[in-house]
Amino acid sequence: MPIRSFSLATWVLLLWGAVSALSQATASPPAEPFAWVGADAGVVLVVERPGPQLRRFLQSPLGQRLRQMELVRKWWQKHGPELKQFFGKLESQLGLAPGELEKQVLTRRLVLALWPPPPGEKEGYLLALLDCGTQERATRMAQGLRQLIHRDARLWSSREWNGHSYWVFTPPQEKPPVLLGTCRSYLVLCNHQPLLEGLLARAMLGRQNGDSLAQLHSFNQAWQKRLPDTVAWAFLNLPVWEPTVRRQTQGKSPHTPPWLALWPALRWASLGVRLQEAAMVYGQVVWDPEKLPARVRAYLEAVGGEGTSLRYIPQNAVAAVATHLDLYRLLQLSTAQAQGHARCQSAQQEMPPVLRALILAFLNLLQPRQQAALVSFEDAQGKLRLGWVLGVAHRSKWPDSSSPKR
């Protein structure tokens, strides 16, 4: 069954240099810890090495310019000491040496998984996995986190599953319990006991019945589209959210929302943040075109694709948004829809000849070309001003000899 993807209007906060990496693919996801997480997770957030990547970004020309901007400088002068004090206290309470949080923890992987709320409940289940590097460091982090969550030992109880012990914190109010443990070099935190025990079964006993993220085709497909050096990446398992969305929309309106009828066609979506000497936010949605109405499929195909105006981002841009639109197809579809609506209103009513001629002439002008628009915020002596680029180019590539009019 054919599957098509829709690259969202590729949000680019700033690009310095080429963007050929957009077409690169990464390898399959590592077994740890994705082979431990259930395939029915609704959202998966992966944070990779945030400390080194953020430090490299702040030391880049863009990072230095951002820190020199008046708004950023004032914010850091006000909140910088508070943040340093907070992280110092956090390291102390977690039993870490000064600087160990950044050097040993923020240089590794954090995975957050969220499950949709079951019927009759308002909140879903959450699982957090933090790679601490070694089993010993994970145990120390778990002991420190126990004190950080609540110091009263009477609210904590120790439990065991197949010889593997973990702690359970029972809040005094009617709130979900907090389960805290370790799995190899990972610190594990969740709010649902079957999640933790299922994770331990996959990790410790090797129980793989095709029900883990590592064996989920859509997750593997999305991971391969993930760009190298992505610091934060989110995967949305859209089919598992359909029952929850339908339950929440029932009773609010006597009619089913039109967008809900399109939900069965959606496969997955992803959103990533990439930090190098620049910052990029990119996203993708994948759907099954055979499950979409023909008109909806045509509109989605008209706005699908990567922005082609990235090379025209001004050198002094602080933020920019690039998008790809097939204006010819969009205008063609809109014109056909307007004509069809007019014919339904009155069989005698037709589009005025002059308007029809103008639309056809414009469509003929756009037909052999593609369009891309760019909106950027430019740094003018520490202040921001709005700039824009609108260009029309042949479908093959943008011309190298000239740039769009600004």
Summarize pLDDT for 373-397 with one digit per residue, the tens. Answer: 556 665 555 555 555 555 544 444 3
In this prediction the pTM is 0.74
Counting DSSP H helices and E strands in the chain, the numbers are 12, 15
Q: Is the pLDDT of residue 188 over 90?
A: yes
Q: Which candidate, 75, 81, 7, 37, places its Cα nearest to that of 196?
A: 37
d(Cα 114, Cα 95) in Å, to the nearest integer?
A: 28
How would you label 7-29 residue by residue, b for 16+ Cβ within 10 Å and e otherwise? bbbbbbbbbeeebeebeeeeeeb
Q: Which residues contact 312 (CB under 8 A, 6 or more apart)?
A: 374, 389, 391, 398, 403, 404
The C-alpha angle with vertex 231 and arms to 244 and 140, in degrees rounded to 5, equals: 85
What value does the CA radius of gyration of the chain take, rounded to a whole number of Å?
Answer: 26
Extract the tokens encoding 267: 């496969």
Sign of CA dihedral 390, 392, 397, 403: negative
Please report which confidence band the pLDDT of residue 263 belongs to, taking 50, 70 and 90 as the band edges: confident
Asked if 65 and 381 count as a contact pair (C-beta separation under 8 A), the reply is no
Extract the tokens encoding 236: 């949305």
Residues forming a β-bridge with 11: 321
Summarize pLDDT for 20-43 with one digit per residue, the tens. Answer: 333 344 566 777 899 999 999 999
Instruction: Share the mean pLDDT of the chain.
Output: 75
Q: Is the pLDDT of residue 294 over 50?
A: yes
Please report which confidence band the pLDDT of residue 274 belongs to, taking 50, 70 and 90 as the band edges: confident
Q: Which candidate, 198, 192, 163, 162, places its Cα nearest to that of 180?
A: 192
The SS3 of residue 254 is coil
Q: Is the pLDDT of residue 226 over 70?
A: yes
Q: Is the pLDDT of residue 51 over 50?
A: yes
Q: Which candidate, 29, 32, 48, places its Cα nearest to that of 188?
A: 32
d(Cα 311, Cα 380) in Å, to the nearest integer?
A: 20
Q: DSSP for 122-162? A: SS--EEEEEE-SSHHHHHHHHHHHHHHH---GGGEEEEEET
Extract the tokens encoding 263: 């939900």
Percentage of the chain exceeding pLDDT 70:
67
- Tell me the backbone φ, ψ of residue 377, rounded to 5 degrees: -105, 120
Asked if 200 and 183 count as a contact pair (C-beta separation under 8 A), the reply is yes
Mean pLDDT calculated for residue range 124-133? 94
d(Cα 285, Cα 222) in Å, to the nearest integer?
A: 9
- The structure tokens 């389960």 sit at 179
Extract the tokens encoding 33: 């810890």
